[in-house]
Amino acid sequence: MSQSRIILLLFCCFSIFAFGQVGINTTNPLSTLDINGNLSVKVLTLSGGGSAATATIINDGVYISLDPRNNTTDHFSLPNPSDVPGRIYFIRNITNFDTAKLSIQGQNGNLRFFPKNSSTGSNTLDLPPNSQNKTIILVSDGFNWTYYN
Contact 69, 60 (CB under 8 A): no
Q: Is the pLDDT of residue 100 over 60?
A: yes
pLDDT band at 5 (very low <50, low <70, confident <90, very high): low
pLDDT at 105: 87
Model pLDDT for residues 18-39, shown as the tens digit of each residue: 567 888 898 888 888 888 988 8
Q: Among residues 139, 129, 124, 142, which one has the least CA distance to residue 65?
A: 129
How large is the average pLDDT for residues 98-117?
Answer: 84
pLDDT at 110: 78
Mean pLDDT rounded to a whole number for the chain = 83
Model pLDDT for residues 43-54, shown as the tens digit of each residue: 888 888 778 788
pLDDT band at 141 (very low <50, low <70, confident <90, very high): very high
Q: Is the pLDDT of residue 13 over 80?
A: no
Does residue 2 or residue 14 have the better pLDDT? Answer: 2
Query: What share of the chain has pLDDT > 70, as a percent?
Result: 81
Cβ neighbourhood burial of 61 (10 Å; 0-12, 13-18, 19+): middle
pLDDT at 79: 93
User: How would you label 65-102 residue by residue, b for 16+ Cβ within 10 Å and e otherwise?
Assistant: bbbbeeeeebbbbbbbbeeeeebebbbbbbbeebbbbb
